[in-house]
């Protein structure tokens, strides 16, 4: 995610949780919005779809 970080210099694993709340009324609307914003989604075969 952060290519500029030298992974060998990391002393411990850190994480980040992000919650996105939308006004979508169903999953398809929500996915369409997030896909439009550039969020990556995998298809049914597990392959990443282009945003």
Tens-digit pLDDT profile for residues 5-51: 888 888 888 888 999 999 999 999 999 999 999 888 888 777 777 65
What pLDDT, on a 0 to 100 scale, did the predictor assign at position 19?
94
What pLDDT, on a 0 to 100 scale, did the predictor assign at position 5?
82
What pLDDT, on a 0 to 100 scale, did the predictor assign at position 50?
64
Q: Classify residue 23 by burial, with Cβ atoms within 10 Å: 0-12, 13-18, 19+.
A: exposed
What pLDDT, on a 0 to 100 scale, did the predictor assign at position 33?
94
What pLDDT, on a 0 to 100 scale, did the predictor assign at position 41?
85
Q: What is the pTM of this model?
A: 0.55
């Amino acid at each position: 995610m952060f290519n500029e970080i030298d992974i060998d210099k990391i002393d411990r694993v850190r994480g980040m949780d992000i919650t996105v709340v939308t006004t979508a009324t169903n999953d398809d609307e929500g996915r369409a919005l997030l896909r439009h914003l550039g969020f990556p989604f995998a298809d049914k075969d597990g392959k990443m779809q282009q945003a």
